[in-house]
Structure 1
Amino acid sequence: MSAGAIVMMIIAMVIVWGGLAAAIVNLRLRPNKTDSPYEDPDLVADDIAREHLPHPTRDT
């Protein structure tokens, strides 16, 4: 491998792994909220009703 190819490989690795590290740090500092203060009762009722329906199938 030439010196230019090695330099480009190192730059690409720093960008990819640096982006991964930045994403992990960002998620640790500002995690997504999982608890919603409000759930629409109509949507909850629809989900409960849909649980009891059979799985849809296709006849092809």
Structure 2
Amino acid sequence: MERVFQRSKDFKQAEEWDILQHVSMTPEQRQEAAEQLRDRVCGKEAPDVREAHRGTLKQT
């Protein structure tokens, strides 16, 4: 995913630009961004949280 930088004059302008960025993304692009963020923060071996809530994770 390509990183985009936008310099804003104030918080309101930055927030509006951020909202426009999110609205312009396809669902697939949003999913890819979420996966990349999860990998950066939690690592590639992190369990899927949906599995944890279903109770299907193996207990060690």
Same fold (TM over 0.5): no
Compare CA radii of gyration and give the structure with the larger one: 1
Instruction: Please give the TM-score of this superposition, normalised by the length of structure 2.
Output: 0.30
